[in-house]
Amino acid sequence: MTIELQTTLAQAEVLFLSFDQLVADIDKRKAEEVNTLSRMHELRHRNSATSSTCTTPQKKQTEVGPMKLSDDLRKLLVSGV
């Protein structure tokens, strides 16, 4: 049994690029969550300072568990490793 080197390398490159994109998406989503949470905090702070009652109904938010990526997996993206 032989392994086709070019095919294997091409598949490995596709998998690596997919992993790289997934990590970038996770980082982007985390950054958006931080920005959203800080804006919500600012709005609550501002709303409570201007009026003590709010007549606008609150929307129920669906929370997705935090995405965590280990440092070992991140190290795979560093060139030279």
Would you say residue 81 has pLDDT above 70? no
Q: What is the pLDDT of residue 9?
A: 97
Cβ atoms within 10 A of the Cβ of 29, count?
13
Output the pTM of the full model.
Answer: 0.58
8-30: pLDDT as tens digits: 999 999 999 999 999 999 989 88
- Beta carbons of 67 and 30 less than 8 angstroms apart: yes
Closest CA to 36 of 70, 57, 69, 64: 64
Torsion of CA 21, 24, 26, 29, to 10 degrees: -120
Q: What is the pLDDT of residue 68?
A: 81
44-77: pLDDT as tens digits: 766 666 655 545 555 455 555 567 888 898 888 8
Integer Cα distance of 81 and 72 in angstroms:
11
